[in-house]
Every structure is written in C-alpha cells, then in structure tokens.
C-alpha cells in the first residue's frame, strides 16, 4: 500500500546523472549524458514534496510537485521546466514493494503519448528514475530518459 511518506527517501540534496535519448520517440536515436543537482523538501507533513533540478550545463531547471491523494492512496507527479514555464500533465500511481510506477497522457512532437515514470533502486544514498513513452496506448514502451541519483555529501 502506498503512503504519504513514500517519497521521504528523496528529501535532501542529490547529484544526478542523466542519460536521455536525443529523440524520445525514436528507438534508434542516440543518447546524451549530462549532470545535474537536485534538492527536495517535504510539505503537508509528508503528503507533498517539491524538488528543483538544476542543469547548469544546459541552462535550464526543472521542478516536480508530488501530491499524495489520501482517498485514492495515489501520488500525482507534476513536472515543469524553466524552458517552457508550463506544467505538464501529471502522471499518477503508487509504490508497491519499494518500486513506484506512475502513468499519464501527454503529447510529444504533436503525437499523443502514454507516459510512464518508474522509481526504483531506492536506498538511503541512491535512487533511479526512468521515463518511457508509448505511442500505441501502452502496448509497447520506449524508455527515453534515466536519472541516477546519488546522495550529495
């Protein structure tokens, strides 16, 4: 069962190694790698948190607002980037057995996509986030972005 403290592991400061496809919908596209830092803090006694991702080498920042719905016992993850200044549609889901899976609908390059975020490999000092898109309603998935988190000292 998911709880309002599922994301407590993320509070604090992190170094983040990114690896993402140059084209999110092309399985043959290349990959780019870059570094970032992240800082996450808790709100609503654990039932919400915000993190700010700083990517100085690319000149942008990202923000995630996570909210726990006590009635449905699910999280909504809401992302925004300083590149656009808009809030992307949320992904919604929960944690089971130490792994968080979240789904939503969005568009990319003018195409409707199903979006999946997965949180895994969670420990006191590490975590992994990955993003995948499906352009066939969730039948097949293309993982297009990984972020490996390591606790900043």
Question: What value does the mean pLDDT take over residues 104-115?
Answer: 94
User: Taking every pair of C-alpha atoms in the chain, what is the biggest distance, in angstroms?
Assistant: 44
* 8-151 to CATH, choices 2.60.40.10, 1.10.3720.10, 2.40.128.20, 3.40.50.720: 2.40.128.20
Rounded to whole angstroms, how far apart are CA atoms 108 and 7?
A: 27
Question: What value does the mean pLDDT take over residues 11-29?
Answer: 96
Domain spans in the chain, listed from the N-terminal domain onward: 8-151
| H-type alpha helices, the chain | none
**pLDDT the model gives residue 13:** 98
pTM of the model: 0.94
* pLDDT tens for each residue of 86-104: 999 999 999 999 999 999 9
Rounded to whole angstroms, how far apart are CA atoms 9 and 129?
A: 13
Angle ∠(40,69,44) on CA atoms, nearest 5: 45
Handedness of CA 26, 27, 33, 37 (dihedral sign): positive
- Going by C-alpha positions, the residue among 152, 148, 120 that lies closest to residue 34 is 148
* pLDDT tens for each residue of 46-96: 999 999 999 999 999 999 999 999 999 999 999 999 999 999 999 999 999
């Amino acid at each position: 069962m998911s709880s309002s403290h599922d994301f407590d592991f993320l509070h604090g400061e992190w170094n983040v190694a990114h690896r993402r496809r140059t084209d999110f919908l092309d399985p043959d596209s290349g990959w780019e790698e870059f570094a970032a830092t992240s800082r996450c803090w808790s709100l609503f006694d654990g039932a919400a948190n915000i993190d700010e991702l700083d990517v100085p080498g690319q000149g942008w920042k990202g923000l995630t607002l996570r909210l726990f719905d006590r009635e449905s016992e699910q999280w909504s993850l809401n992302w925004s980037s300083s590149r656009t200044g808009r809030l992307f549609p949320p992904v919604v889901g929960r944690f089971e057995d130490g792994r968080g899976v979240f789904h939503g609908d969005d568009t990319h390059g003018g195409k409707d996509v199903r979006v999946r975020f997965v949180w895994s490999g969670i420990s006191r000092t590490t975590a992994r986030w990955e993003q995948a898109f499906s352009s066939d309603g969730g039948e097949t998935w293309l993982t297009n972005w990984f972020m490996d988190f390591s606790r900043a000292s």
